[in-house]
Amino acid sequence: MSVLCNVEGRLVPPDQAVVPVLDRGFLYGDSVYEVVRTYSGRPFELDRHLARMDKTALRIDLTLPPRAVIVRELQRTLEAAGNPESYVRIVITRGAGEFGLSPFLARGQNRLVLIVRPLVAPPEEQYERGLQMAIARTRRNPPQALDPALKTGNYLNNILALREAHEAGADDAILLDLAGRVTEGTTSNVFFVQRGVLVTPPLSLGLLEGVTRALFIEIARTQGLILREEPHGPEALAAADEVFMTSTLREAMPVTSLVFLESHGEQVRKVADGRPGPVAKRLRAAFREYVERTHLRR
């Protein structure tokens, strides 16, 4: 098993992977990216991920390489890495140019970088124990500023929230918007269950349209669950019957306690009885069935 990088078609180990210091992705976060995982060695829902990358690139006026090139280089890198299962980060920067903020200073040549490493999925015991999530003091960027719906290389908002969570001893953070409503985790989407109804924040609050989030919404509806996309404050999570996070790597991970990071200190509160609930387990099993049916049997 190995970590392997593909920098503009050149396959190299991480210590040999370099980009120019004047690359706009390095200097300004002027880039787009996607994270893909494999099941049975094959990229999962790649079309959905690349479609989302297309949307982000269009919004920031960044020209992408042809999709066939991205897919070809991805497959070539996966095969060369030879991992049983892989985590893949696909990064496309605006490329290098003259020093300065203006995107018109770029020379018009994007840069494709892929990073493939062995997949390190959460251990099953984590699903039995659940996460402790901190309600961060750092607020989510509003859509009118740096829209969280754009999956770009600028991740400082999430980094600051995650630092707060780790300093408090929590596993991860949940960010609120400027009005105090729940948006998302640093790398995951939020769901909670209250009296049999599944709830997740609406995209209009300012959050990333997670590929796994969309799949779980589809699966929940096929399972006959009532699902609502509506805004709530963090107290709704504390009062919920269960809370869970969805992401490419975590699938559906239960949350069993919350740390409220308040100006006068920290308050730890259990979610329900402090144990994972049945809906997350049921939906994760249905998700695995979806993977088997649509991905592994083809």
Cα separations (Å) of 71 from 4, 46, 53, 185, 223?
A: 16, 9, 13, 29, 33
The stretches of 103-241 forming alpha helices (DSSP H) are 124-129, 156-167, 211-222, 234-238
* Contact assessment for residue 64 and residue 53, using Cβ atoms and an 8 Å cutoff: yes
| Amino acid occupying residue 134 | A
Task: Tell which residue, 226, 227, 233, 186, has the closest CA to residue 205.
Answer: 233
Task: Tell which residue, 260, 251, 207, 259, has the closest CA to residue 229.
Answer: 207
What lies within 8 Å, CB to CB, of 139 at 6+ separation is: 175, 176, 177, 178
Q: Report d(CA 55, CA 292) in Å as an integer.
A: 28
Q: Report d(CA 182, CA 225) in Å as an integer.
A: 21
Q: What DSSP state is assigned to residue 195?
A: T
HSE, side-chain direction, 13 A CA sphere, residue 14: 5
pLDDT of residue 298: 58
Q: Report d(CA 228, CA 240) in Å as an integer.
A: 14
Three-state DSSP state, 167: helix
pLDDT of residue 1: 62
pLDDT of residue 257: 97
pLDDT of residue 295: 76
pLDDT of residue 49: 98
pLDDT of residue 296: 67
Q: Report d(CA 111, CA 134) in Å as an integer.
A: 36
pTM > 0.85: yes or no: yes
Sheet strand arrangement including 4-7: 10-12, 4-7, 111-118, 86-93, 31-39, 42-43
User: What length does the chain have?
Assistant: 298
Q: Report d(CA 179, CA 185) in Å as an integer.
A: 16
Task: Tell which residue, 280, 210, 202, 224, has the closest CA to residue 48.
Answer: 210
Q: Report d(CA 37, CA 46) in Å as an integer.
A: 9
Q: Report d(CA 187, CA 16) in Å as an integer.
A: 28
| pLDDT in 10s for each residue of the chain, 298 residues | 689 999 999 999 999 999 999 999 999 999 999 999 999 999 999 999 999 999 999 999 999 999 999 999 999 999 999 999 999 999 999 999 999 999 999 987 899 999 999 999 999 999 999 999 999 999 999 999 999 999 999 999 999 999 999 999 999 999 999 999 999 999 999 999 999 999 999 999 999 999 999 999 999 999 999 999 999 999 999 999 999 999 999 999 999 999 999 766 788 999 999 999 999 999 999 999 999 988 766 5
Q: Determine the distance from the C-alpha atom of residue 132 to the mean position of all C-alpha atoms in its chain, rounded to a whole number.
A: 18
Q: What DSSP state is assigned to residue 82?
A: -
- Domain annotation for the chain: domains and CATH numbers: 4-118 (3.30.470.10), 124-296 (3.20.10.10)
